[in-house]
Amino acid sequence: MKLRLLITTLLIFTFLAACAPANTEATPAPVNITEALTAAPTAPTESPVIVTDQRGKEFQFEQPVQQIVSLAPSNTEILFAVGAGRQVVGRDTFSDYPAEVTNVADIGGGFGALDTETIIASTPDLVLAADLTPAEQIQALEDLGLNVFVLGNPTDLPGMYENLRTIAAMTGHIEETETLILSLEERVAVIEEKLSGVTDRPLVLYEIDGTDPNAPWVPGPGTFVDTLLTMAGGNNMSASLDGGWIQVSLETIIEMDPEIILLGDALWGGVTPEMVAARGGWDALTAVQEGKVYPFDDNLVSRPGPRLVDGLEAMAKFLHPDLFE
């Protein structure tokens, strides 16, 4: 169950939206979302904004949405980051950042049931569902007359920036979001500059779940963890394996012999470097012998929002501490 909850948290990203029919005679022509956001930031009240969710469903907004229920931690973090925190009237149980989000009504979620009574009582204009939100939950919410927008799962930082822009357009926070994105891009550029001359890229084992120490779960190619490890100047030990989230044998780990181990299960699983060193056979690893086993805040890389850049910075400092003193 812990693994299932973690994988859900790693992958879920979604958005919910309100839809209103266009009136071509009484209102200006709708603007294309890309054109609207690459131009000077403008509040969407001046012209309708059109967005399309993960399912290909199109939504049109005449005014910024004001009452939002978020079903995923990443959605919640994005809403607060772009300046729409006061518009959030409901959040899933796992949304715990920023701290003030705990003052927002908890509507359940994850693998548990949604509290539809609380959701309805909040009278949302917009419900932000997750990419992996069960289809039956989405259908049930729509059957209640609620507008559900499913945000796509980004595969890189530019994709995450576009998700920020989508939320900004729907909520009326375009200008401050462009400022946020510029700040994030500048921070990434600093990291890239510091790492530009790096030739020694340590082999890194990122542990997602070590409940079975003989077959821990690790991120494979194409995952955000894999992407960020590469950007941070490392080599993901499991990048050459097949699959997104993989169980890898201890024999394979010993054969590959990672130089650094990052414990993504330190936060939710309570795993410590001492516990890893005490595992049978793990003392043969270079990372264990050299004391390069580090707890890591998995929330920084499992929730595809602005804190991904925090995760990138943290990884780079673990992998190349001499460049970030």
* Band of residue 46 on the pLDDT scale cut at 50, 70, 90: low
Domain 203-324 matching CATH 1.10.1040.10: the answer reads no
Looking at residue 132, what is its pLDDT?
79
Which range, of 22-31, 112-121, 126-135, 230-239, averages the lowest pLDDT?
A: 22-31
Reply yes or no on whether the pLDDT at 29 is more than 50.
no
Residue 7 confidence (pLDDT) above 60: no
**CATH superfamily of this structure's domain 8-186:** Nitrogenase molybdenum iron protein domain (3.40.50.1980)
Query: For 200-233, what is each residue's pLDDT tens digit?
Result: 999 999 999 999 999 999 999 989 999 999 999 9
CB burial of residue 188 (10 Å; 0-12, 13-18, 19+)? middle
For 63-84, write each residue's pLDDT tens digit: 999 999 999 999 999 999 999 9
pLDDT at 44: 44
What pTM was estimated for this model as a whole? 0.84
Minimum mean pLDDT among 9-13, 245-249, 273-277: which range?
9-13
Q: Comparing 8-186 with 203-324, is the CATH topology the same?
A: yes
Question: Residue ranges of the domains in the chain?
Answer: 8-186, 203-324
CA distance 234 to 319: 7
For residue 47, the model assigns a pLDDT of 75
pLDDT band (50, 70, 90) for residue 153? confident
Q: What is the DSSP string of 24-88?
A: TTTSPPPBPHHHHHHSS---TTSS-EEEE-TTS-EEEESS----EEE-SHHHHHHHHHTT-GGGE
pLDDT tens digit string along 84-117?
999 999 999 999 999 999 999 999 987 678 999 9
